[in-house]
Structure 1
Amino acid sequence: MITPTTGRSDTALLKRHIQAKLQPLLRGVAEQSPSARATTAHLRNAVGKPAGSDPAVWEATLGDLPEPLVGKTDEPSAGETAMHVIMALFAIHQQGKTEAMHQPNQGLGTAVQRLVLDSGQDFEKNPFIRRFDALTTSDSQAELAWHLRSLITQLRGAGIGLDYVRLAGQFYEFALPWRRDPIRLQWGRELYAYRPKKESAGDKESETGTTNPPEA
């Protein structure tokens, strides 16, 4: 695996590129285009394969890739790997959906918070939290990709979207050990942002004024 070498400018370059690659697929989803369905099907079939190993997805993952992101050795670059993994995960998320599962500004932590809240289970002991915790402790892109696949399948089932442009940038930078903690911090902030507090019966009585007055 080739790691990013030129800092955050390459992250921005990758994010702009994946945005450009997602747009025609999103239009195709909205129009129920056979071409978009075929492309997403090929991408789903490429999940778990090394970047560049499946000619059926070269256009979607390697086509027009900016020069700083292109690998120079026999191994896929971090940019090539990020494009391959994130486009394939998007295709998994989009499977069977007519609405766009790419949701700008909905980070991974926010999406998981919605998943947990919609489940109706206790937040602190929720199995989705345990899965997310396992994802955040990944120490490589390969491990992160494995956990993401499972989690995104859950998000698809719940109809919850995700910002794939943001995720692409985070996945790309995850190749750098010193960027992992800042990324984990962002996910944690999103997950534990304000969420509605469960009301107890006592709280409701206090709000409606139905509690019995004290005896004289």
Structure 2
Amino acid sequence: MNYAMTTPYWNRVAPDGTWLIDKWTKRPLGPPPGEDLAAMRAGLGRQYGEVPRLWPHYTCEIDDDRARHGEASTEQKAEHAALALYGLHQQSKSISMHRPDVRLGRALALLRNSDKFSQKAIDDRVEAAATTTTPDALLIRLRGLVDLLRTINQPLDYDHLMRLIHNWHYDDGRRAARRQWAMDYQVWKQKSPGDQAPTEP
């Protein structure tokens, strides 16, 4: 994947998930402004480029060959989808919903162990998402799962989620992403959740 050097919007946090401090203003870089998150949520169910308010938040390089034909690259589609999901996840939250190294499977296992929902219901939703065979179907399922993660203040790694969405466009990539997802979910759901979902201050 040829991602631009510009940092994706959600990367405003340290490895422990706390907001980074702006070196000029000395203020935290989050939580993000509500209007930014609203622009991202407007991308839910829409295609890359269809929401002008979202354009300033795109960071992927333009593929000149595709652009000449009015086509978005797979990287651009993946970033659009991840931004839209991040806008949903971060809405009205003061803590960061992006946490480096918390892959989707691990976050969902913590959701499963939260006692907020039936474990079977979470297993069924995860299976429904993981068995999708198209990016559009995956995104429909992910929207519901991210909404559930939001209810328990459980962050996840949006860099990893963007790669997963990208890989879902290709047969080999989808199989590899599914294997990683399965391993993360199976390992973490069997552990007692010592890594509890954070609470709002």
TM-score (norm 1): 0.74
Residues 1:59 and 2:92 aligned together: no
Deviation at 1:96, TM superposition (A): 1.2
Aligned ranges for residues 43-192 of structure 1 at < 5 Å? 43-61=40-58, 64-68=59-63, 71-72=66-67, 73-119=69-115, 123=119, 126-192=120-186
Is the Cα contact below 8 Å between 1:102 and 1:161 reproduced in 2? yes
Amino acid at match of 1:177: D
SS of corresponding position for 2:33? helix
Q: 1:68 to 1:110 in 2, by over 3 A?
A: same
Equivalent residue number for residue 204 of structure 1: none
Distance 2:81 2:173 in 1: 19
Deviation at 1:69, TM superposition (A): 8.5
SS of corresponding position for 2:95? coil
Distance 2:133 2:80 in 1: 19
CA RMSD in angstroms, aligned pairs only: 2.7
SS of corresponding position for 1:59? helix
Equivalent residue number for residue 14 of structure 1: 3
Deviation at 1:170, TM superposition (A): 1.2
Distance 1:54 1:81 in 2: 13
Equivalent residue number for residue 211 of structure 1: none
Where do 5+ consecutive residues of structure 2 fail to align? 14-18, 193-201
Q: 1:150 to 1:122 in 2, by over 3 A?
A: closer
Is the Cα contact below 8 Å between 1:15 and 1:169 reproduced in 2? no
Q: Normalized per residue, which structure has more helix?
A: 1
Deviation at 1:119, TM superposition (A): 1.7
Where do 5+ consecutive residues of structure 1 fail to align? 1-9, 198-216
Deviation at 1:177, TM superposition (A): 1.1
Equivalent residue number for residue 196 of structure 2: none
Q: Who wins on radius of gyration, i.e. which is larger?
A: 1
Distance 1:57 1:93 in 2: 16
